[in-house]
Structure 1
Amino acid sequence: MVMSFVVYEPWAQLGTLREVIATALYYENWHLISEQLTYDAAGSETSALQHFWSLSVQAQFFVVLPLIAVIVTLLSRRRATRVRIFWVAVIVGTACSFVYAWQLNAFDPTRAYFDSFARAWELGFGGIVAGLWKRGIVIPAAWRGITGWIGLAMIISSGFVFEGKEAYPGPAALLPVLGAAVVLLSAGSTHRASASRVLSHRSLVQLDRISYGLYLWHWPILIAYLTYRGNTDGVIGPLGAIAVLAAAYVATMLTTWLLRLPTRWAANRGVWTQLAAIVVAIAIAVVPATTSHAAIMRSADVPLEACSGAAALD
């Protein structure tokens, strides 16, 4: 919000404030669809909050899936029956979402990229993998040293093989999704050169702990930097990249430190305290953004009769 008034282009202020509200309430993906915005490469005219669409999809998934579990629980009293119904619902829902994503991606790739129903199969697939792992259905130990690297290669290569915003979440997304599944089901390999051992290295584990914060922070800082430099083509250079990453790291560590105390405090209290903490956190973003948006809209109102000639351009 501060950067929208200090750094970003003035014409982008209202759009940024609307995205702050959409992001805080976890409907950013639907907001981008309604505004007919595409997932653009970095540039001074690119949305600073477009990367939050994925968090909105995840939050919606984490609300819907427990509701499905509750409904299944109400339908059957027998635990074994509930488990079967639940997994059938997850598998069928994942398959339906995949078909929907395939069809929508062919006709409207921009909408498909953000659509929660088109993205659900990727998360559902992860749920199926978790179910397999929980039942002990994993890749045999003798193969994990090789399959882990194969899965990792599938994930990395997808960034070079496909144009993400046009191919995903269609069938092309099977490459990184299946790769992630293979890596997860290959975990636990004891071979020294296995992907599992390499990914478990202390430095990578430490990076993983702050990766969520880096994901949140790097993009708005990058857009702010490009806007300040007036780079519409997204060219940043080595020094610019180092500066953006360093700023994102500092912001991540600072916000992690600031949020550690209230989140730990809420976690040790009851459910209602935790829910209240979530509401307060959302309000911290939504209330100032809504107020600022309303103030700008009021100040922008100019009576038509007060404008004449060149004054109408003011």
Structure 2
Amino acid sequence: MVTQSRPRSRRDAAGPADQRADLTGLRALAVGSLLLGAVGIGVVPGGFVGVDVFLVVSGFLVTAALLGGWRRTGRIDLAWFFARRVRRALPAGTLVLAASLPLALACLPRDRWSAAGWDVLAGAGQLLNWRLAAQHTQAVVPDAGASLLAHLWAVGVAAQFTLVWPLLAAGVAAWTVRRRPQPGTSPLPPTRPLAPSRALLPSRALLPTRPLPLTGPLLVAAGLVALGSFGWAVWYTATEPGRAFLVSTTRFWEPALGAVLALLGARLAGLPRWFGSLLGWAGLAAVGVAVLTLRPDATFPGPLALLPALGAAAIIAGGTIGREADATGTRGATAAAEPGGVYRVLGARPLRAVGAVSYPLYLWYWPLLVATHARFGDLPPAADLGVLGGAVLLAVLTHRYVEIPARTGALDGWSPGQVLRVGTLLPAAGVLAGLLFQLTVWPPEQPAPPPAAAPVSATPSPASPATPGAAALGRSPRTSRAGVPVDRVESITPNPADARTDLPDVYRHNCFPPVTSGTAQSCVYGDRDAPFTVALAGDTHAASWVPALQTIAVEKGWRLVTYLKPNCPFLRVEVRNGDRAQRDACAEWYRNVRAALTGPERPKLLLTTSSRYQPMAGGRGLNGRPAHDALVGAMRRTWSDLVSAKVPTVVLRATPILAADSATCVAANPRRLTRCATERQVALAAGAGAAQLAALDRLPRVGLIDLTGAICPGERCAPVIGGVLVYRDNQHLTATYAGTLAPRLRGALDRILAPPAS
């Protein structure tokens, strides 16, 4: 019988797994690939997979610490564990959050200050990945349009796993203690009975000299987490690639994979050392292939993420093989039996030096690059490397004067309760700072009110550009070289800095009802008295087609009537968009527009389209396959009902949605436009096009016009086509480019309206 107490010394707190030099070197390679990928070094397009390596290593270290504590003391001491994590992660993270606010004031335009404040708030709560996922914000390439803190999505994923997994492990430990053999039948020496709750709480109670076995139950738990999360990642990446990249549920399988390795440590240690060396080289090769071949616009983190994750797992497992097992199944890097081969490379002093500051280096590099690009525009790689040099300097200072004192200074003598109380104050301060930062943008700038205008007849306002836009694609857009992304073009119309004002006339003619109004507000273009009326109904995605339709209406002498409402699809379905009043207004607007379309002045043709929305059922938003099916069902009901009411209906296939704001990206990268391209498959999957096609599969009387081939013709969506900027943000066409689509749209309408051949 022995008395155990929580470790106090720096050595005990670190744990043997933390002392492995190969893991420190692996972290150095991971952060190095991230940094080189961030500055556009062409040979490392997959540098972003460094995050996957970090997550696997994090899961291994977290689980090794939990398992080591259990083997030493017979309990999982959550207070000690979380206090240790607070001391290791929060001080440096809080410093970077605080620094991001003056960076935002100094380098970002005023209209982005509020978003920066909300990002600080979400980052302080370790929930920024969910905020970015809801906004479809890219977090791979730091450019002028990115959030200053977008990289903290990965920190949030790791923090959320570090919260959930120890709690789950503690539950498994409590279950194991409850099922322990009774005295007299146990292989352990008789001891004073240990209450189940004592397995979770810090205490100095007398404990068995040999702790109860916990590895098996934890292996089952970690395996279930890994398999469930990976299955969800594969499915969700195929349906919602933008969000799947950022949410925690698609990433938990990676730290869970590291957890499995920690739990298998004792078994792995007994394998032949030559096998460990072979496994290490294979793992390093897999990570290297991922870094050198994967692209930022790849569908991720689906099956492709297995390459870097399994590579990192192989390196960790190979480094465990051949070591003499201690309490955690591994031994320190200073052991005499240290493996050779790749582990000598990873344990080299330069890599260990970089790995020691990898966490603060990761925290600093992104906000510095984003702020620099936002302040000074596009920079050559040499300048970016200079910025990274500044990040390295800040990382070293942060490690020396923030991280080390927090781990080994006065805080080393604090009790876990004291550390946790202070640790609670740091995120709270970040939340408060994010809220107070909103005062810097209050009151908001008031845009000039649009001129009051009744529905008017008008010709399209965008002047014909000097460059051809979609006309440059010729008759075969999908094979045209004009649709392939290039780094530079001679000129860009409109100027990317002014793209947000390159709007259809419906914006300046006040053609949208107020947010909480369900009025079927309309505007009329073309020939007001023409007998042939074309109606356009939908949200702002539908409004993007107005410039092309105006041109066609003028040429053909048609009457064009618009029924448009932002954030409201012209569908008979409740979608998640704002509060209850806004949803009620959308439903009322749909009913009023349908009544107008089916009334005495029904149009000869109805055109409709919309963005992708989240349907609701039972007052809750749907996700995944249920959401897709609900949206498809709503489209079928709405369109078949209109056709039955003798309203000829044609669906414009939804505009592809890009991974990032195109205009902002182009403004920041005029000499590297390919950085602003999005994989076509990803852009199409992010929009409502797939649901539209599925709905039309059983509606032969509803027409379809698909011009996505003239919007995103190549395998990657080019930001500029024919000298014209395609998008004004990440999902709305510029009025100028939409105007150049008029000939293609006119041809599609002619084919639909042509009388059937006799």
TM-score tier (shorter):
0.7 to 0.9
Q: Does the residue aligned with 1:48 lie in a helix, a strand or coil?
A: coil
The 5 Å alignment of 1:246-261 reads 246-259=389-402, 260-261=404-405
Shift of 1:237: 2.3
Instruction: Tell me whether 1:69 sits opposite 2:169 in the alignment.
Output: yes
- Check conservation: 1:144, 1:186, Cα contact below 8 A: yes
The CA RMSD measured in Å over matched residues stands at 2.7
Match of 1:274 among 415, 419, 427: 419
Question: Which of these two proteins has the greater Rg computed from alpha carbons?
Answer: 2
Q: Does the residue aligned with 1:167 lie in a helix, a strand or coil?
A: coil
- Check conservation: 1:24, 1:286, Cα contact below 8 A: yes
**Relative contact order, CA 8 A, sep 6+: which one is greater?**
1
- Check conservation: 1:167, 1:173, Cα contact below 8 A: no
CA distance in 1, matches of 2:280, 2:217: 32
The residue that corresponds to 1:120 in the other structure is 252
**What CA deviation, in whole Å up to 9, does each residue of 1:15-46 have, x standing for no partner?**
11111111111001111112232335232112
CA distance in 2, matches of 1:296, 1:276: 30
Match of 2:349 among 181, 202, 208: 202
- Check conservation: 2:280, 2:342, Cα contact below 8 A: yes
The residue that corresponds to 1:237 in the other structure is 381
| 4+ long deviations beyond 6 Å | 188-193, 306-310
- Check conservation: 1:113, 1:168, Cα contact below 8 A: yes
The residue that corresponds to 1:100 in the other structure is 232
The residue that corresponds to 1:153 in the other structure is 285
The residue that corresponds to 1:300 in the other structure is 444
Match of 2:367 among 202, 220, 226: 220
CA distance in 2, matches of 1:63, 1:70: 11
Cα distance change of structure 1 residues 236 and 279 upon mapping to structure 2, 3 Å threshold? farther
Q: Aligned AA for 2:249?
A: F
- Check conservation: 1:48, 1:220, Cα contact below 8 A: yes
Match of 2:241 among 81, 86, 109: 109
The residue that corresponds to 2:153 in the other structure is 53
Q: Does the residue aligned with 2:141 lie in a helix, a strand or coil?
A: coil
Q: Does the residue aligned with 2:153 lie in a helix, a strand or coil?
A: helix
CA distance in 2, matches of 1:144, 1:45: 44
Structure with higher strand content: 2
**Any unmatched runs of 5+ in structure 2?**
1-100, 181-210, 323-336, 453-507, 509-758
Q: Aligned AA for 1:86?
A: L
Q: Does the residue aligned with 1:102 lie in a helix, a strand or coil?
A: helix
**Any unmatched runs of 5+ in structure 1?**
none
Q: Which moved more, 1:144-153 or 1:123-132?
A: 144-153
CA distance in 2, matches of 1:216, 1:206: 17
Structure 1 length as normaliser, TM-score? 0.87
The residue that corresponds to 2:267 in the other structure is 135
CA distance in 2, matches of 1:119, 1:196: 27
- Check conservation: 2:218, 2:263, Cα contact below 8 A: no
Q: Does the residue aligned with 1:136 lie in a helix, a strand or coil?
A: helix
**What CA deviation, in whole Å up to 9, does each residue of 1:211-244 have, x standing for no partner?**
111111011111111112212xxx5322x13321
CA distance in 2, matches of 1:170, 1:308: 46
Shift of 1:308: 8.5
Q: Which moved more, 1:11-20 or 1:262-271?
A: 262-271
- Check conservation: 2:113, 2:441, Cα contact below 8 A: no
Q: Aligned AA for 2:236?
A: L
Structure 2 length as normaliser, TM-score? 0.38
Cα distance change of structure 1 residues 81 and 141 upon mapping to structure 2, 3 Å threshold? closer
Q: Which moved more, 1:196-205 or 1:41-50?
A: 41-50
Q: Does the residue aligned with 1:186 lie in a helix, a strand or coil?
A: helix
CA distance in 1, matches of 2:406, 2:275: 44
Match of 2:223 among 71, 74, 91: 91
**What CA deviation, in whole Å up to 9, does each residue of 1:237-285 have, x standing for no partner?**
22x1332122101211222233233443223210111112212322343
Match of 1:185 among 313, 317, 337: 317
- Check conservation: 2:215, 2:263, Cα contact below 8 A: no
- Check conservation: 1:101, 1:169, Cα contact below 8 A: yes
